[in-house]
Copies of this chain bind each other. A is one copy, B any other.
Amino acid sequence: MASDLIEYRPGAGDYAYTFGGRPAVRHVRPGDLISMYTEDCFGGVVRSTDDLPSRVCNFPFLNPVTGPFHVDGAEPGDTLALHFVEIAPARDWAVTTTLPHFGALTSTHTTATLQEPLEERVWKYDVDAAAGVVRYHASRSGHTVELPLSPMHGTVGVAPAAGEARMTITPDAHGGNMDTPELRAGVTVYLGVNVDGALFAIGDGHCRQGEGEVTGAAVEAAMNTVVAVDLIKGVGTPWPRLESDDALLSTGSARPLEDAFRISQHDLVTWSAGLTGLDTLDAYQLIAQAGQAPVGNVVDTNYTMVAKVAKKYLTAVGAAAAYDGVHERLRALGRQYLSSR
């Protein structure tokens, strides 16, 4: 597998705000590494605690993504593998906000009430990459708290099926704004291909995020991100899946939240049954006792749940490597890249 390193830094007008409905910004091939810049979910215009999003942002043009990239050879029915080699904050600060009628502890445009919205407020975090921390500053007192730096991408996806174009803020079967802290460096994401070229895009870097993203925004940051690309021909993937060195993970994005849970668990059960040869109810039983359910987001237009199982429990019953070992190969490619830099 020949591997090119492609550098891509979008200009001001190059960002996408939908998955689907946009031409590719660049062609890449399976095996390529892409080093890209991604802007934060506010388009980089919230830079101080005075920059309220309702004043400085241009709704609905939030959550810009870098891409879409056209993967040569990708066709509907294939699976795209994106391995996140590195996710590095591009600035020494990050921002986050409460937004009017957005978040879990407020009424919203769909959970509509007649109450007044919460106050809109911006918090600015220090990002200290060397120390591996971000620093919270309370807005109404002098308190600070250091939290571990744990970079991730909230948004990754491909063009949806059926000719749809979806706002980047929406997570669904095509990926999108899943906002799961599980999507960090060292992880491979699998996405079912719906259109020729797959047309994937990435954005919404977070220096860290609590589970559920309860305010509606994480520690939002521009990122310098490196991904390795591969393609599994002729193998479909119904909902986005993740693989780390230790675990397999299925996602589901829907409302109400229990449906997101059902999708993710159903996919992990049937995926595990397929890899192990276990009877479906036996796989259901094993996941029920061995599985985890890390919450993604409970704030976006769909909510996201993740179902997770340690690989060791599946290999104990003879599981094959997922997607014929793509993760291990891309992981090695990523390590080689990082060590050669």
Residues of A within 8 A of B (CB): 17-18, 20-21, 60-61, 96, 98, 104-107, 109-119, 121, 123, 134, 136, 138-141, 143-147, 161-167, 208-215, 217-219, 252, 254-259, 261-263, 265-267, 269, 276-282, 284-295, 298, 303, 305, 313, 316-318
Chain B neighbourhood of A295, CB < 8 A? 261, 293, 295, 305
Chain B neighbourhood of A96, CB < 8 A? 285, 288-289
Known: A281-B121, A295-B295. Contact between A114 and B214, CB under 8 A?
no
Contact of A210 among B21, B208, B282, B288 (CB under 8 A): B288
Chain B neighbourhood of A146, CB < 8 A? 316
Chain B neighbourhood of A217, CB < 8 A? 288
Q: Report yes or no: B118 in contact with A279, Cβ–Cβ below 8 A.
A: no
A148 to B: closest C-beta gap in Å: 9
Q: Report yes or no: B114 in contact with A313, Cβ–Cβ below 8 A.
A: no
Known: A145-B286, A162-B60, A211-B293. Contact between A258 and B136, CB under 8 A?
no
Q: Report yes or no: B290 in contact with A210, Cβ–Cβ below 8 A.
A: yes
Q: Report yes or no: A114 in contact with B106, Cβ–Cβ below 8 A.
A: yes
Copies of this protein in the assembly total 4
Chain B neighbourhood of A210, CB < 8 A? 287-293
Most buried by B among A166, A290, A293: A293
Separation of A61 and B163 alpha carbons in the complex (Å):
10
Q: Report yes or no: B107 in contact with A107, Cβ–Cβ below 8 A.
A: yes
Contact of A111 among B109, B141, B147, B259 (CB under 8 A): B259
Q: Report yes or no: A163 in contact with B165, Cβ–Cβ below 8 A.
A: yes
Separation of A162 and B213 alpha carbons in the complex (Å):
23
In the complex, besides A164-B167, A212-B291, 19 extra interface pairs with C-beta distance below 8 angstroms are: A98-B284, A106-B115, A107-B107, A110-B259, A111-B111, A136-B286, A139-B282, A139-B285, A141-B277, A141-B279, A141-B317, A145-B316, A166-B166, A210-B291, A214-B284, A214-B291, A215-B288, A218-B288, A258-B298
Separation of A263 and B289 alpha carbons in the complex (Å):
26
Q: Report yes or no: B289 in contact with A147, Cβ–Cβ below 8 A.
A: yes
Q: Report yes or no: A281 in contact with B212, Cβ–Cβ below 8 A.
A: no
Chain B neighbourhood of A252, CB < 8 A? 110, 112
A110 to B: closest C-beta gap in Å: 5
Q: Report yes or no: A263 in contact with B114, Cβ–Cβ below 8 A.
A: no
Known: A165-B164, A165-B165, A282-B141. Contact between A212 and B265, CB under 8 A?
yes
Q: Report yes or no: B162 in contact with A164, Cβ–Cβ below 8 A.
A: no
Contact of A138 among B61, B164, B262, B279 (CB under 8 A): B279
The 6 A-B residue pairs whose C-beta atoms are closest, nearest first, are A256-B256, A257-B257, A140-B279, A211-B293, A112-B266, A215-B288
Contact of A145 among B214, B262, B290 (CB under 8 A): B290
Q: Report yes or no: A110 in contact with B254, Cβ–Cβ below 8 A.
A: yes
Separation of A218 and B140 alpha carbons in the complex (Å):
42
Separation of A254 and B292 alpha carbons in the complex (Å):
20
Q: Report yes or no: B115 in contact with A116, Cβ–Cβ below 8 A.
A: yes
Most buried by B among A109, A121, A162, A291: A162
A315 to B: closest C-beta gap in Å: 10
Separation of A288 and B138 alpha carbons in the complex (Å):
13
